[in-house]
Amino acid sequence: MDETVAEFIRRTILKIPMYEMMTILKAWDFLSENQLQTVNLRQRKECLAQDLILLCEEKRASASEVALLDIVYEDVDLFDMEQFKSSFKKILQRALKNVMVSFKDTEDKAVWIRVAWGTQNSKPNQYKPTYVVYHPQTPYAFMSSCSLKSTVPLLGQALMVASKHHQIVKMDLRSRHLDSLKAIVFKQYNQTFENHSSTIPLQERNLGLNIMDSRIIHENTIEKERVQRITQETFGDYPQPQLEFAQYKLETKFKSDVHGGILAEREEPLRCLVKFSSPHLLEALKSLAPAGVADAPLSPLLTCIPSKGKNYFKIRDK
C-alpha cells in the first residue's frame, strides 16, 4: 500500500471517537464482516489504526475509498436520540408507576439521564435521584450510585433495549471523575505499556535527577535512571486518569510445611480486603518508585488498572 494512503487511513481513524468506530466502519461498507470481527476496540487508538491499515491493505484500499470513510464519518448519524429517550422512558414507566425521567444532551453527543424513583404508593423522590450518562452507539453507560439497589437491573434493561445493544457492559470501575472513567473505558488516555521510543535523551527530560551533584555515585545514578525508565514505560509521560481507590479481595487457602494446626485444618479460604486510597491514585502509584518508596517495576496488579478498566479485583488461588 502507498505510504500516503496508509497515513490517510491512520489520520482518519484517529479522529473518529472510539465509541463511534464500529458504527462508522460498518457504514463505510468496505471491510468484510469477517475483517470487522477481528477489530479489537479495547486497545489504544494508535494500535487500532495500525490494525485497520493492515486490513485495508488486504483489500488494496485506494485513496478514493479512504476518502469515503472520511465522508461517512462527517455525515453518518444512525442513532435516533429521540427514539432512544422515548423507549427508555416507557420501559421504566411500565415497570414502575411513579418514576420521573429527565434528559439533557451534551456537546460530546452523550445524553445525561436523571431518574427520580418512586414506588407504587409514593411519588418520585427528587432528593435521591440516579444519574446516568450514555454515549450513543456504545455498550457503556456511566451510572451514579442508586439508593434502591433493585433499580440497577431495571436501568440496565432499559438501556439495553433502548440502545438496541445485546448487552450493557458492567465494569468493576468506580470514580467521582467522569472524564477519567470515559478516558479509561474508551481508551482515550495515553498510558503506554510498550517500550518508549522517544529520541530525547533520558537525562534531558524532567525526571527529577540531579546528575550534576557530584556526591551521587555512579551506581546510584544508573539505578535512578533505571527506575525512571521503567516508570515511564509503565505509565507514560502523560497525566493519568483520576481514580480515588483500588480494592483487592483476596481468598487463599492456608499453606504451611508444618503439619497440623487449626489453620491447616480449615476448609474455608482465608479472606482479606486490601484497599489503596488517594485523591489521585494512579499518579500516586506512578510516583512511588522514583520516590524510593517501592521497587520498580510495581506489581502488575497495580499498574494494570487502566488497561483492564477496573479498580475492583478478586484474587483467588489458581
3-state DSSP assignment of residue 77: coil
Please state the separation of Cα 296 from the chain's center in Å.
Answer: 24
pLDDT tens-place string over residues 254-306: 776 666 666 667 778 888 999 999 999 999 999 999 988 888 899 999 999 98
Determine the pLDDT at residue 213. 52
Closest CA to 279 of 243, 235, 239, 240: 243
- Lookup: cell for 43: 486497545
Residue type for 188, please?
Q
Largest Cα separation within the chain, whole Å, is: 78
73: confidence class by pLDDT, cuts 50, 70, 90: confident
Residue 249 φ/ψ, nearest 5 degrees: -100, 120
Per residue in 163-172, pLDDT tens?
Answer: 877 777 778 8
- Cα torsion through 158, 161, 164, 169, rounded to 10: 50
Residue 75 in contact with residue 95, Cβ under 8 Å? no
* Cβ–Cβ < 8 Å for 291, 279: no
Residue 146, all three cell numbers: 442508586
Q: What is the pLDDT of residue 261?
A: 65
Which pLDDT belongs to residue 218?
Answer: 59
CB contact set of 48 (below 8 Å; sequence gap of 6+): 13, 18, 21, 39, 40, 41
pLDDT for 211: 44
Distance CA 77, CA 82 (A): 13
pLDDT reading at 228 higher than 70: yes
Q: Who contacts 76 (Cβ-Cβ below 8 Å, separation ≥6)? A: 23, 24, 27
Tens digit of each residue's pLDDT (9 = 90 or more) over 31-49 = 998 999 899 988 888 999 9
Q: What are the residue ranges of helices labelled H in the chain?
A: 3-15, 21-28, 33-37, 45-58, 63-75, 81-95, 151-163, 178-185, 218-235, 281-288, 300-303, 305-308
Query: Of residues 79 and 278, which shows the higher confidence score?
Result: 278
Q: Note the pLDDT of residue 189.
A: 65
Q: How far is 34 from 37, CA to CA, in rounded Å?
A: 5
